[in-house]
Structures are given as C-alpha cells and as structure tokens.
Amino acid sequence: MTAARVDRSHAAGRRSWVEAADGHPEFPIQNLPVGVFHLGDDEDEPRVGMAIGDSILDLVAAHDAGYFGGLAERAAEACAAPALNHLMALGQPYWSALREQAADLLDAGSAAYRDNPRLGDRLLVPQDEAELLLPAQVGDYTDFYASVHHATNVGSMFRPDNPLLPNYKWIPIGYHGRASSLVLSGTPVRRPQGQTKAGDAPPVFGPSRSLDYEMEVGCFVGPGNPLGTPVPLDQAEERLFGLCLVNDWSARDIQSWEYQPLGPFLAKSFATTLSPWVVTFDALAPFRVPAFSRPSGDPAPLPYLDNEANRAAGGVDVTVEVRLSSARMRDQGIAPVRLSQGRMADLYWTPAQMLAHHTSNGCNLNPGDLFASGTISGPGKESRGCLLELTWRGAEPLALPTGESRKFLEDGDEVVMRGWCEREGFARIGFGECRGVVGG
C-alpha cells in the first residue's frame, strides 16, 4: 500500500513569504489544500487554487508564468478547469509534485520571490474576494457507517438488547447517496417534507420535525478503476486524493418510516453540505495513525480488508467539531456553542478499507467520486456527532445560552463544522468551515 510519506514539505519550521501564512491555524505552507475559485468580476473561467494563509495561490497563473516543471507542470495544466476531476485523475505522483513545487514557490527562501518581491500581486487572490465553488463534479456519492460508537448508540435506541447487527464488525456498511444534492458550505438548507408516522396513526405528509446534522469526513477518489476490476487494499491508498468536511443532513422522522427494508432514501437526499477545500493525503502524512484497535473478541477483518500497512497507519487523526447558533443567538451577538468534538481516528474502518470494499464486487469508481465516513462519534457523550445521539432521540434536550432548548434543528439554526490535525513536532493544519443555515 503506497501512502504519502512525511518529508521536508511538512517541516514545522518552514516559513512562507505570504503574509498570515506562518502560524495560520488552518492554511500554513505545510497544508496547501486545493479548491476551485472564481472572481466575481473575472471573465476567466473558474480554476483551481491552493489555500495559503488568507489567500489563494492561483495555480493557473503560476503555471502560465512558468513556475512548474515535470509532473507538476502537467498537474498545473489540469488546474485550468472548473473542477478538480482532471487533477484527481492524474494520480499521486502528479499531486505530490504539484504540492512540492507550489510549496517551494511559496517558501520564504523562494528564488522567484527574491527576484520579484511583488510576486503575490500576480499569483495570489485574497480569499475574501473569491467565490469558492464545489471542489469536484461528483458523479457518485456513497455514505458509509464507519463509526462503531455511532452505530452502537443508534442501535441502542431501537434495539437495546442487540445494538449492532451481526454484519457490522465484518463488513463496512454503506449506501449510495444522491450526488445531485451535494451543496457547498454556506448554502441554505431547506427543511425537507416527507411522510412521517407516529404510533398507530396513519402516515402524514409534511415538513420534517426531527431535522438533524451528521458530522462526517468525505474522501475524494483519484484515479478510477475499470468496471469489473476490484482495487486491492494494497493499491487503495494511491486512489485516495484528499479529505473534506461533510454534513450529511438527515430527517430522522422521515427516515424512521421509510428506511425498512431498503435503507435511507428521501430522508438523506435533500442536501449534503461539503467544505470547499480538499486537504490532500500528502498534507495528511504526519497525521496518519494505526487502524482502529479492535477490542478482544471482535473478528479480524477478512484478508481482502487487512494488511500490515493498513494496521500500522491506515487511520487519519482528524479532530472534528460541531457548533450551533440559533437565530436568536445571532441576533443577540452570542457566539455559536460547541456541541461536540470527535476524532476520525475512532472510525472502525479506514478510508482504504472503505474503498477496497466498495470496489470488491467490481464496482467502478471514477475521479471525483466521493464517499463519506458516516457520523463520527467517540466513546463519550461530548464526542457524539449528531443530535440524535446528543439528545438521545430527543429525550435529553440541549440548553442554549438564550434559554432555548433543542431536541432537533429549528428553522434559523446554523450548524458550523470544523476540522483540524495537530501533532507535536508538526504544524497544525485545518479544513476550513462546513456550514449551513436551516430554512423553512
């Protein structure tokens, strides 16, 4: 399994000539996540850039100025597009070369900057002046159920004597979501309507009253695989491009009525919010951790889902956080309150295992396809990644600073998700925001 390795690009002491990059909590030179941006008064097409401090490195402008060579030049050519798909299709050697040469260009000791101290005027765009777009044209979206803590909590509500179904610890559980309703962070989310059923009364059609968020991490696929050709676990890492934050909004009351026997449908397909920046697996190399340590008595993964490399460093240690503000809180100038903080490292299955299993039947994935982790929850209440768990299906409402309470989301509520990686000896890197306001 070929994974990105820690190298000089991750050095904690590395500095950039870009103002605000050094010590930036999310976008220092050690990160350089990629995304798609557009300028409102710009006649050019949307294109790919890298976040650095509070700016964006315009990769097309840097390419046109001749700052890339070899594989990085080819990768930069693919950035003259309104989506990351072409770059994703090239493969890890190209991604790594582009990030390495971009970091050298942005380095405080860069010869290009030494020769032209006004280099930023040509290559940088202030983030607050750019319109960010969805990072990729997602052909297919799959949602997994990879947190054993989340699965156990939810199972306990409905099956107290048997929280986990027999297949959970043997197979990465997932379902195919709806790619057409993926939306960018900041897009308002309209409360969905659907059928709900209470007790013995007939079902009714109307707005969901149990609207929820789900704190997830999404993984973008790089080079695809031909139909009928599985991707073995040993090769899965080289197909993983990068991670973003995902809020897979859920209408719990609609879901509880519709999901048997085929699983989620309208309760999940109305909106899924993505953060705009994709943190590459190259940038994540210092934050790789062993796969989930299975308790004694749990089955070992079947051979096609197991190898030494995945056991040693298949996990990714991303801290994820959810904050909430009501309309009344914002009117009163009250900051969003933190609801939970969890870790991607607590997932029962690794990204490589998810991809290997997804393709094990010959299913073909394409560049830009997205799969998400499912709700990320940890062992404690403070790490539960959705309101269904935090309020225990509404039985334990949350108290907000205004005196309001929440079992589920109300109109005007804004959910803000963030993610970051920290490890001693390395610079902290982040993912930006994944936010959305609920409307009627």
Task: Return the bridge partners of 131, or none.
Answer: 38
> Please, which residues have CB within 8 angstroms of residue 67's CB and are 6 or more apart in sequence?
101, 105, 112
Residue 261, preceding peptide bond in cis (omega within 30° of 0):
yes
Do residues 54 and 127 lie in contact, with contact meaning Cβ atoms separated by under 8 Å?
yes
Question: What is the C-alpha separation between 23 and 27, in angstroms, rounded?
Answer: 9
- Contact in structure between 54 and 28 (CB atoms under 8 Å): no
Q: Determine the residue type at 210.
A: S
Structure tokens of 298? 């749990």
Query: What are residue 51's phi and psi, to 5 degrees?
Result: -75, 130
Q: Are 136 and 368 in contact (CB under 8 A)?
A: yes
What is the distance between the terminal CA atoms of the chain, rounded to a whole angstrom? Answer: 47
**Residues sharing a CB contact under 8 Å with residue 39, sequence separation 6 or more, in sequence order:** 125, 129, 130, 131
Close Cβ partners of 96 (under 8 Å, ≥ 6 residues apart): 4, 282
Q: Catalytic residue numbers?
A: 150
Q: What is the separation of C-alpha 158 from the centre of its chain, rounded to a whole number of angstroms?
A: 28
- For residue 304, give Cα distances in angstroms to 53, 193, 243, 268, 310: 41, 41, 23, 30, 11
Q: Any idea what DSSP says for residue 338?
A: E
Rounded to whole angstroms, how far apart are CA atoms 340 and 380? Answer: 10
Residue 78 CA to residue 74 CA, distance in Å, equals: 7
**Gap between the Cα atoms of 224 and 227, Å rounded:** 9
For residue 95, the SS3 value is helix
